Chains A and B, each alone.
Chain A
Amino acid sequence: MSGGEPSGSEDPPGRQFVANGISMKTNEVEAKLDEGNIQEAESALRDGLSLNFEEARALLGKLEYQRGNVEGALRVFDGIDLQAAIQRMQQSLGDKQSTKKGRTRSDLSSVVSQNATNLVLEAIYLKAKSLQKLGKLKDAAEECKSVLDAIEKIFPDGIPDTFVENKLQETVSHAVELLPELWKQAGCYTEAVSAYRRALLSQWSLDNDRCARIQKAFAVFLLYSGYEVSSPSLAVQVEGSYVPKNNLEEAILLLMIIMRKFCLGKAKWDPSVLEHLTFALSICSQTSVLAKQLEEILPGAMHRIDRWKAMALALTGAGQNNFALELLRKSLHRHEEPNDIMSLLLAAKICSENVLLAAEGVKYAQKAIVNALESNPHLKGVGLRMLGLCLGRQAKISSSDSERSRLQSDALKSLDSALALEPETSDLSFELAIQYAEHRNLDAALRYAKQYLDATGGSMIRGWRLLALVLSAQQRFSEAEVVTDAALDETSKWDQGPLLRMKAKLKVSQSLHKDAIETYRYLLALVQAQRKSCGSLASAQQVEDGNANEYEVWHGLAKLYSILSHWKDAEVCLGKARTLKEFSAETLHTEGIMHEKQGRINEALAAYINALLLEPKYVPCKILIGSVLCKMGPKMLPVARTLLSDALRIEPTNYTAWYQLGIVHKVDGRMSDAVDCFQAASILEESEPIESFSTIY
Chain B
Amino acid sequence: MLIFLLKRVGVVIPTFFGVTILTFFLIHIIPGDPILIRTGERGLSDERYAEMRAEMGLDKPLWKQYVTYITGVFSGDLGKSITTQVPVIDEFFTLFPATIELSVCASILAVSIGIPLGILTAVRRGSFFDYSVMTVSLTGYSMPIFWAAIMLILVFSVNLGWTPVAGRMSAMYWVERVTGFMIIDSFLSEEKGAVLSALRHLILPSIALATIPLAIVSRMTRSAMLEVLNEEYIRTAKAKGLSPFKVIFVHTLRNALIPVITVIGLQVGTLLSGAILTETIFAWPGIGKWMVDSISRRDYFAVQGGILMVATIVIMVNLLVDILYGVINPRIRHR
The judgment on whether A and B are partners is no
Q: Which B residues fall within an 8 A CB radius of A?
A: none
